């Protein structure tokens, strides 16, 4: 059984990966309600514009994917053991 069949989403770890998953620079900019230049900068810096976090994570979820929140400069939740 693959990850999608198990209900797990593919986690994207780079800004370029997020941009490509959404259809490229122009398409990602359109989805994120920002400019293509902003997405080009994000690809270069490996840091997505933080105002796009909720919009892009929702769009990725619809594709069965997710992205590391650190790509937006957001610290992930630390899970406690036990």
Give the model's pLDDT for residue 24.
Answer: 98
> Does 1 fall in a domain?
no
Q: List the structure tokens of 22.
A: 């959404």
Q: Considering the domain boundaries, does residue 33 fall inside one?
A: yes
- pTM comes to 0.83
Mark out the alpha helices in the chain (DSSP H runs). Answer: 15-21, 25-31, 36-45, 53-62
pLDDT of residue 7: 54
The total number of structural domains that make up the chain? 1
82: which 2 tokens? 């036990």
CA atoms within 13 A on the CB side of 33: 8
Would 82 be classed as within a structural domain?
no
Distance CA 77, CA 82 (A): 16
Q: How confident is the prediction along the chain (82 residues), in pLDDT tens digits per residue?
A: 344 444 566 899 999 999 999 999 999 999 999 999 999 999 999 999 999 999 999 999 999 999 999 999 998 788 877 5
Is 42 within a domain? yes
- Domain for residue 63, yes or no? yes
Instruction: Tell whether 77 is covered by a domain.
Output: no
* pLDDT the model gives residue 64: 97
Please report the pLDDT score of residue 80 as a whole number: 79
The CATH number given to whatever domain includes residue 25 is: 1.10.260
Q: What is the C-alpha to C-alpha distance for residues 36 and 28, in angstroms, rounded to an integer?
A: 8
Residue range of the domain that includes 41: 10-72
């Amino acid at each position: 059984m693959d990850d999608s069949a198990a209900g797990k989403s593919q986690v994207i770890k780079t800004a370029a990966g997020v941009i490509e998953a959404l259809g490229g620079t122009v398409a990602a900019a359109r989805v994120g309600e920002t400019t293509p230049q902003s997405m080009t900068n994000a690809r270069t810096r490996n840091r997505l514009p933080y105002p796009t976090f909720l919009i892009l994570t929702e769009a990725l979820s619809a594709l069965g994917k997710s992205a590391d929140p650190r790509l937006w400069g957001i610290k992930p939740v630390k899970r406690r053991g036990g």
